[in-house]
Amino acid sequence: MLSQIHTAGLLGINAFHVCCETDIGDGLPGIILIGSLSVEVKEAADRVKTAIKNSKISFYPRKIVINLSPAEIKKEGCGYDLPIAISILEALGVIKSDILSKSMFIGELSLSGELLPIKGVLPIVIFAKESGFENIFLPYDNLAEANIVNDIKNIGIKNLKDLIEILNGEKAYNENINKTTEVLQERKYSDFSDVNGQILLKRAVQIAVAGRHNILFIGPAGTGKSMIAQRIPGIMPNMTDEEALEVSKIYSVCGLLSSKEPILKIRPYRSPHHTVSPQALSGGGRVPKPGEISLAHKGVLFLDELAEFKTNTIEVLRQ
């Protein structure tokens, strides 16, 4: 029997659609995963099989072929565990539900069947909403982050057994759905009211910030360069909702958001060490990841001891 379950992967800070196809038939027993997969995705075969067993579901050894399409894009991360498990269970006839075609599934499975939080939930939920999906099933610990996005039903699941019962209509989901999480974050940084003197320096910084210009501090150690830089976010206006969502997507992909602070409301301040590599500063890689420049988006990037940075690292900023 053939099963198709929808999920999503990450490419940079954007999500893309992935279809998890499972076919169960005769042949040498085992689980075969195909579709341009990283090591951790290939390891999902053992995690999923054990999680299903520990969820009190048994099935005869069969030949199971699982394809994650599109095959031309590399799949990385552990968020494919849950869609693989649901796809297998649907193919086996354990799950029979009409909402599968309208739903997206993401999450990592432990060997006990518990769902573990993953990175990049926010851009995936935004993509699911824009793609027309009505529901998204995800780990319970990622629910606060997902609830930032309205007009899609975010369903937080704690374990695989509960999800099977919900999909089969044996158990109701009682959480507050589509409730936007309001995060009241106080400013964690100081402003220029803490600085005595330095009138000219503060005035120069105010002008640079007002015009969104770069500024170079030159002076001996101990004159307050770092102190002033740390207080620049304190004189900048609060981020709008659109800016906060844009910055939070970057931090979500890097796994820097928590359930207590699912959206970033304060402007970021980043100060990388002068030994930082060009790749760590600019981001990128074979599978693109945000760097320090991206993490400072809409905020402040402070390069202390600029003369100590490697020439090729500085060239990244110029290019």
- Residue 138 and residue 8 share a domain: yes
266 pLDDT exceeds 90?
A: no
Work out the pLDDT band at 117, boundaries 50, 70, 90: very high
Per the structure, the complete domain to which residue 55 belongs is given by 2-167
Work out the pLDDT band at 194, boundaries 50, 70, 90: confident
| CA-CA-CA-CA torsion sign (135, 80, 250, 121) | positive
Instruction: For residue 42, count other CB atoms closer than 10 A to its CB.
Output: 13
- Provide the percentage of residues in the chain whose pLDDT is more than 70: 95
Q: Crossing angle of helices 81-92/160-167, nearest 10°?
A: 50
- Residue 162 and residue 202 share a domain: no
CA dist 268 and 176 (Å) reads 30
> What DSSP state is assigned to residue 274?
T
Q: What is the pLDDT of residues 214-224, one digit of tens each?
A: 999 999 988 88
Work out the pLDDT band at 178, boundaries 50, 70, 90: very low
The CATH number linked to 250 is 3.40.50.300
Domain assignment of residue 179, yes or no: no
CA dist 123 and 14 (Å) reads 6
Domain end among 167, 201, 226: 167
- Residue 235 and residue 142 share a domain: no
| Count of domains forming the chain | 2
Domain assignment of residue 177, yes or no: no
- Residue 256 and residue 160 share a domain: no
CA dist 135 and 240 (Å) reads 27
120 pLDDT exceeds 50?
A: yes
- Residue 12 and residue 119 share a domain: yes
164 pLDDT exceeds 70?
A: yes
Question: Which tops the pLDDT comparison, 172 or 296?
Answer: 296
Work out the pLDDT band at 259, boundaries 50, 70, 90: confident
- Residue 154 and residue 196 share a domain: no
Work out the pLDDT band at 181, boundaries 50, 70, 90: very low
- Residues 6+ positions from 73 with CB-CB distance below 8 Å: 9, 11, 16, 36
- Residue 149 and residue 33 share a domain: yes
Question: Lowest mean pLDDT: which of 76-80, 162-166, 181-185, 213-217?
Answer: 181-185
| CA-CA-CA-CA torsion sign (81, 86, 87, 89) | positive
- Residues 6+ positions from 224 with CB-CB distance below 8 Å: 195, 198, 201
CA dist 193 and 235 (Å) reads 10
Pick from 11, 6, 9: nearest CA to 288 = 11
The answer to whether the beta carbons of residues 165 and 171 sit under 8 Å apart is yes
Q: What is the pLDDT of residues 15-48, one digit of tens each?
A: 999 999 999 998 899 999 999 999 999 999 999 9
The CATH number linked to 108 is 3.30.230.10
Domain assignment of residue 218, yes or no: yes
Domain assignment of residue 183, yes or no: no
Query: Rounded to two decimals, what is the model's pTM?
Result: 0.86
Domain assignment of residue 22, yes or no: yes
Output the average pLDDT for the chain: 90
pLDDT at residue 177 in the model: 44
- Residues 6+ positions from 266 with CB-CB distance below 8 Å: 185, 187, 188, 189, 233, 238, 239
- Residue 128 and residue 242 share a domain: no
Domain assignment of residue 173, yes or no: no
Domain assignment of residue 305, yes or no: yes
pLDDT at residue 184 in the model: 46
Domain end among 117, 152, 167: 167
pLDDT at residue 267 in the model: 92
Buried b (16+ CB within 10 A) or exposed e, 133-159: bebbbbbbbbbbbbbbbeebbbbbbeb
- Residue 139 and residue 24 share a domain: yes
Work out the pLDDT band at 186, boundaries 50, 70, 90: low
The answer to whether the beta carbons of residues 214 and 208 sit under 8 Å apart is yes
Please spell the DSSP secondary structure of 194-252, one letter per residue. Answer: G--S-HHHHHHHHHHHHTT--------TTSSHHHHHHTHHHHSPPPPHHHHHHHHHHHH
**Could you tell me whether strands 63-69 and 14-25 are parallel, antiparallel, or unpaired per DSSP bridges?**
antiparallel
Amino acid found at 68: L
304 pLDDT exceeds 70?
A: yes
pLDDT at residue 189 in the model: 62
Domain assignment of residue 187, yes or no: no
Domain end among 134, 152, 167: 167
- Residue 137 and residue 28 share a domain: yes
- Residue 232 and residue 160 share a domain: no
- Residue 162 and residue 198 share a domain: no
The answer to whether the beta carbons of residues 149 and 263 sit under 8 Å apart is no
Q: What is the mean predicted confidence (pLDDT) over 58-63?
A: 87
Q: Crossing angle of helices 241-253/121-130, nearest 10°?
A: 120
Q: What is the mean predicted confidence (pLDDT) over 151-179?
A: 83
